């Protein structure tokens, strides 16, 4: 699993590539924590290049949501059975704003 951070119009985008499982979830948590340390107003976690999302990865996303509190809005970009289906089946789409494309997530934050 790899991560990359970029700024897009006031939102910080964390792009994740690979598989998020028990072995890689701590690295995801560290990457998210590094972004949250800067207290961005918006964090978009792009999972479109993730081929597998285990429960450990979903737990890392929930922990990020709890750590961000009300100071950072978090959205997830996920499309396909490996990611968005998992998030919907566990009702995490009720916790996070879920978008099928990065462009849709960016437009949502720009309109706020």
CATH topology of domain 2-110: Transcription Regulator spoIIAA (3.30.750)
pTM: 0.94
With beta carbons less than 8 A apart as the criterion, state whether 58 and 22 touch: no
Q: Where are the domains of the chain?
A: 2-110
Phi-psi label, residue 9: left if phi above 0, alpha if psi -120 to 50, beta otherwise: left
pLDDT band at 112 (very low <50, low <70, confident <90, very high): low
Q: Which residues contact residue 82 at a Cβ distance below 8 angstroms, ignoring those fewer than 6 apart?
A: 50, 51, 52, 53
Q: Which residues contact residue 48 at a Cβ distance below 8 angstroms, ignoring those fewer than 6 apart?
A: 77, 78, 79, 80, 83, 101, 102
Per-residue model confidence as pLDDT tens digits over 34-82: 999 999 999 999 999 999 999 999 999 999 999 998 889 999 999 988 8
pLDDT at 24 over 90: yes
């Amino acid at each position: 699993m790899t991560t990359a951070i970029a700024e897009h119009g006031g939102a910080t985008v964390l792009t994740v590539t690979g598989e998020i499982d028990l072995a890689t979830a701590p690295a995801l948590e560290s990457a998210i924590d590094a972004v949250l340390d800067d207290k961005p107003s918006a964090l978009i976690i792009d999972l479109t290049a993730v081929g597998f999302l285990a429960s450990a990865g979903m737990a890392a996303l929930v922990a990020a949501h709890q750590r961000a509190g009300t100071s950072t809005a978090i959205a997830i970009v996920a499309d396909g059975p490996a990611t968005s289906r998992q998030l919907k089946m566990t009702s995490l789409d009720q916790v996070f704003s879920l978008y099928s494309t990065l462009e849709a997530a960016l437009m949502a934050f720009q309109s706020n």
